[in-house]
Structure 1
Amino acid sequence: MKLMVNHQTHYSYSAPVQSSIQYIKMIPSTNTHQRVHHWDISIPGQKGTQKDAFSNIWLTSSQREPYSQMTIMAQGLVEMNPDSQFGALNSLNPHLFLQPTASTLCNEEMKQFALSHVSALRHECLIRLARAVLDYIPYMPHTTSVNTSAIQAFSCRQGVCQDHSHVFIAMCKYLGLPARYVSGYLFVPQTMHLASHAWAEVFLQNAWYCFDVSNQLFTPNSHIYVAIGRDYWDVAPVRGVREKGGFESMNSIVQVLSC
């Protein structure tokens, strides 16, 4: 299956931005799970690319001229491997994904929740945990932010794919299982306009197993991988610093189409 992606992110500012540097992770790589036929990022400014510590492609854009609006456009064609049942492998030691982060810590209530739903460190038990997390934290857009931690999302009992992933990863790490955060895109038939997506993966029996808690999907057949990390902050699509600009507003739209 080939998937065509069109991802547009529009920024507006209440006052002119004098200069800025944007750090962008919106470029997928070819791996055992997918083949990138072509991909292009359109953004003003002087650009350069490198790879981060997790082998994600990292684009830097520097702008020195004042502006009040900016649009980042990512477009490309990715072919999925129909035989892929697991997440993409890389050369990183899986134990790297046992490292705690501020976004993926457990409190005592979360630890007891994990223990009550996982009787053994097996795939089917983790699926049971993923279902319990979604039951406990219903999908509720616009109720959390990128700064919401796993503990905060669990406490308020609402959130989105980022929160589901952080909570699930936090619990798996507590259970002693390497767990990573994946950003990318999800293809849903008969649905054109989506947001960029996030899901969790857990290392079991020398393979990375997909746990898309928000959609209750446990194989990555319809998932395009863009970046992996320990939490959202390792894979954030756009981060940056700017001089002036006042208040910032952002609007994003994603199309994922089969072709």
Structure 2
Amino acid sequence: MRLMINHQTHYQYTDQARNSIQYIKMTPTTNVHQQVHSWNVSVPGEKQVKTDAFHNVWITSSQRQPHSQMTIMAQGMVDMNPNTQFGIDIAVNPKLFLQPTPSTMCNAEMKSFAECYVPRLNRANLMLLSEAILNYIPYVPDRTSVQTSAIDAFQCRQGVCQDHSHVFIAMCKHLGLPARYVSGYLFVPNTSHLASHAWAEVFFENSWYCFDTSNQLFVPNSHIYVAIGRDYWDVAPVRGIRERGGIESMNSIVQVLAC
């Protein structure tokens, strides 16, 4: 299945900004699950392309001139394998994804929650845990932010795909299972406007299994992989710093269309 993706992020500043540096992870790579036919990330200023420790494509863009707005546009075409059953393998030891991060810590209540739904380590129980998390934390946009940790989301009892992924990852790590955060895009037929997406994957029985808690999907055959990490901060599509600029506002538009 060939998909066309258009991802635009627009920034506006109330004052002139200068000397801004943006770290961009918006580039999918070809693997057993997907083949990238074309892809381009358009961003102002000087651009350098590298890969990070998780083999994600990492673009650094520097803009020295004063500016009051900035647009980052990523677009291209990707063939997706709809028969995929497992998450992709990367040349990273799965044990790295047992490492705790500030966004994926568990409190005592979360530990008890996980142990209640997973008395034995098997995929069926992990799926029950994923369903229970969605019931406990309904999908409600604009109530959390990128700063919200798994503990915060669990206490708030509202959140989005980022929060569901962080909570699920935190609980799986508590259960002794390597769990990773994946950013990308989700294709839903007959729907053209979708936000960029995130889901969790767990290393179990020598394979990576998909746990898309927000959508209750457990195979990644509707997903396009962009970046993999321990939590949101490892895979954030855009992070940056700047001098001045006043108050920043951001608007993002994503289209995922079948060709």
TM-score by length of 2: 0.99
Q: Which residue of 2 aligns with 1:168?
A: 168
Partner residue, 1:23: 23
Query: Using the alignment, how far apart are the partners of 1:153 and 1:251 within structure 2?
Result: 23
What is the rounded CA distance, in whole Å, between the counterparts of 2:151 and 2:255 in structure 1? 32
C-alpha distance in structure 2 between counterparts of 1:32 and 1:151, whole Å: 34
Cα distance in structure 2, aligned partners of 1:163 and 1:2: 29
The equivalent of 1:240 in structure 2 is: 240
Report the equivalent of 1:74: 74
Q: Could you say which residue in structure 1 is the equivalent of 2:217?
A: 217
User: What is the aligned partner in structure 1 of residue 130 from structure 2?
Assistant: 130
Q: Which AA in structure 2 matches 1:19? A: N
Amino acid at match of 2:228: I
Determine the C-alpha separation between the residues in 1 that align with 2:153 and 2:71: 30
Write the letter of the residue equivalent to 1:4. M
Tell me, yes or no, if structure 1 residue 194 matches structure 2 residue 194. Answer: yes
1:96 corresponds in structure 2 to 96
- Contact 2:185/2:256, CA 8 A, preserved across alignment: yes
Q: Percent identity?
A: 71
1:46 and 1:89 map into 2 onto residues whose CA distance is: 32
What is the TM-score of this pair, normalised by structure 1?
0.99
The equivalent residue for 1:60 is 60
1:23, distance to aligned residue in structure 2 (A): 0.3
Query: C-alpha separation between the residues in 2 aligned to 1:102 and 1:61?
Result: 27
Alignment of 1:206 onto 2:206: yes
- CA deviations over 1:145-196 (Å, ceiling 9, x no partner): 0000000000010000000000000000000000000000000111111111
| Structure 1 residue ranges (4+ consecutive) displaced by more than 6 angstroms after TM superposition | none
Secondary structure at the residue paired with 1:193? coil
Per the TM alignment, residue 84 of structure 1 is displaced from its structure 2 partner at its CA by: 1.4
Question: What runs of 5+ residues in structure 2 fail to find an aligned partner?
Answer: none
Contact 2:133 2:168 survives alignment (8 Å): yes
2:52 counterpart of 1:49 = no
Instruction: Please show how residues 4-43 of structure 1 align to structure 2 within 5 Å.
Output: 4-43=4-43
CA RMSD for the aligned pairs? 0.6
After superposition, residues 114-129 of structure 1 pair within 5 angstroms as 114-129=114-129
Equivalent residue pairs, number:
259
CA contact (8 A) 2:82 2:222 kept: no
